[in-house]
Amino acid sequence: MGIQITPSILNADLAHLADEVARIPGADWVHVDVMDNHFVPNLTLGLPVVASLARVAEQPLDAHLMIADPDRWAPAYAEAGCGSVTFHVEAAGAPVRLAREIRGLGARASMALKPATPIEPYEDLLPELDTLLIMTVEPGFGGQKFLDLCLPKIRRARELMRRHGVETWLQVDGGVSLETIERCADAGADVFVAGSAVYAADDPDAMVAELRARAEA
Ligand code: DX5
Ligand code: ZN
């Protein structure tokens, strides 16, 4: 797989979700941020909305679960038709079992790390994962400033993937824009979530194309 662009609908008009998703036909995935007001200090949407969106969206959904107890809740997102389900390792009780369960339900299994969570303790889990998500802001809100301090971890993760010989995708999320995407790509990321950059643009689909071009450069 080459570069993939995954707009987050967090900053879209949530009253017109299906229309907002239809504005980004050039996107590879649609990133849906699920927050529970426990794992992060914000509340967004949950399974019923995600399941409805999965039925109407052209692109597969990339569910990013910023929730407590993902062991209990994540499999339902795979059952609801999400193409990828991301849980946070900081919240998971049994990440290996959970990743296997998500895969068993036919979705890509993805594990996320907050900015202060190191990759090294989890390198042996890489073969169990289809995607590793490295957060480049503290999760909870769109529109935050990109944290450059996460770049060395992206490099290390890419290096560990090479060493382990795995095909795991390396996703970044938070503050990704025309200004920051090249840094992430240089560090080894290949899947890019962008929320405010896409939905604050006059033409979101043109922005998806611009971001892709910038990452591929
Ligand atoms: C933040 C979310 C992100 C957010 C990204 O906790 O996980 O997906 O929507 O928004 P931007 O691109 O504006 O940082
Ligand atoms: Zn996200």
Show me where the domains of the chain are located.
4-216
| Average pLDDT for 39-58 | 97
| 52 annotated ligand binder | no
Which ligand is nearest the CA of 63, by number? Answer: 2
Contact 71, 170 (CB under 8 A): no
The strand order across the sheet containing 191-194 reads 4-7, 191-194, 169-173, 131-135, 108-113, 84-88, 61-66, 30-35
| Average pLDDT for 138-150 | 98
Q: Which pLDDT band, with edges at 50, 70 and 90, does 1 fall under?
A: confident
| 64 annotated ligand binder | yes
The conformation of residue 37, written as its DSSP 8-state character, comes to S
Partners of residue 86 on adjacent β-strands:
64, 110
Answer whether residue 175 shows pLDDT above 80: yes
**39 Cα distance to chain centroid:** 16
Catalytic one among 33, 36, 62, 190?
Answer: 33
Which ligand is nearest the CA of 175, by number? Answer: 1
Catalytic one among 28, 36, 130, 173?
Answer: 173
Give the angle 50-51-57 at the CA atoms, nearest 5°: 80
ipTM summary value:
0.99
**136 Cα distance to chain centroid:** 11
- What spacing in Å lies between the alpha carbon of 205 and ligand 2's midpoint? 19
Q: How far apart are CA 155 and CA 152, in angstroms?
A: 5
The pTM of this model reads 0.98
Active-site residue flag, 190: no
Residue 48, pLDDT score: 97
Report the CATH number of the 4-216 domain: 3.20.20.70
Token pair of 48 as six digits: 């019923």
DSSP H helical ranges for 27-150: 47-56, 70-79, 95-104
